[in-house]
Amino acid sequence: MCRWLAYCGKPIPMSGLLSDPEHSLLQQSRQAIQTQYTVNGDGVGVGWYSGDSIEPGLYRDTRAAWNDENVESLSRHVHSGLFLAHVRAVTRGSVGRVNTHPFRMGRWLFQHNGDVGGWDKLHKDIDQLIDPEFYCQRKGQTDSETLFALAMTRGLQDDPASAINEMIREVESLRSRHDVDDPFRMSIAVSDGESLWAARYSSNGDTPTLYWGQGLSLASADGEIFRLHEHSTVVVSEPLDKEQHSWETVPDSSLLHVADGVLSVSPLQP
């Protein structure tokens, strides 16, 4: 499974989370702990928002994150108050830039960790549920980008919570119709540049890990401390340092929302 993070708060250099902490996302690309995929070397991507454009900036490449000097350099020079980052371990779709997270449609970004079980049986039917407006914006072959297009079809731009629930409901309905036993497992992050949503769900209880922290003090590998603003929020697949007591677990089947420094967690209702 992949590793990802999302940040919403006071603008910071993205390297403050991508590379500086002692168990940073770039470190997790080569030595993740809370997953069977210790190495996540099938690509790296960063999407960020700034005041310069409504559409987010996007950098994606197929190189392993630890071998991509561009992403580390870029992250030290770009300051952002809302960004998503992802290191990939392939489960669906080939290794390719178009299959590397985050995915972008207009001002929206989306990233995913997990797997749609029974994908070979389901993906044709899921494709038929997607509005042509969003179907034509899909560039790759992953289940992840397809989930994004389905959520956009179900009204992500108007009511993200409802759209995410409906996306899950559609996939589960098709799993039942096709008698698929393999589970649907996901943690996702999605943003429009103003708010951040993250969700954690699985059909069998074996749900990908997901944590959040607010106002964190993060230790670097050399012992220096990087302090975030008290209302700045980080959401991660696994903690970025050894002080795991500072992190809160996102409950299974839950939706997290962050806007203007206010965080809420509510049950999913697919």
Tell me what the mean pLDDT of segment 148-177 comes to: 98
Packing angle, helices 160-177 and 119-129, rounded to 10: 130
Tell me what the mean pLDDT of segment 12-28 comes to: 93
167 versus 27: which is more confidently predicted?
Answer: 167
Cα separation of 120 and 4, whole Å?
25
pLDDT in the model for residue 221 = 81
Q: What is the mean pLDDT of the chain?
A: 93
Contact in structure between 270 and 201 (CB atoms under 8 Å) = yes
Percent of the chain with pLDDT over 90: 77
Q: Which two tokens stand for residue 261?
A: 């420094």
Tell me what the mean pLDDT of segment 1-15 comes to: 94
Burial class (CB in 10 A: 0-12, 13-18, 19+), 48: buried
Q: Which two tokens stand for residue 115?
A: 């797997």
Cite the DSSP H helix spans in 56-194.
69-77, 119-129, 132-135, 143-153, 160-177
Tell me what the mean pLDDT of segment 182-193 comes to: 97
Q: Which domains does the chain have, with CATH numbers?
A: 3-267 (3.60.20.10)
pLDDT in the model for residue 91 = 72
Q: HSE of 264 in the Cβ direction (CA atoms, 13 Å)?
A: 9
pLDDT tens for 33-75 read: 777 667 777 889 999 999 778 899 999 999 888 889 999 899 9
pLDDT in the model for residue 93 = 67
Tell me what the mean pLDDT of segment 182-195 comes to: 97
35 versus 148: which is more confidently predicted?
Answer: 148
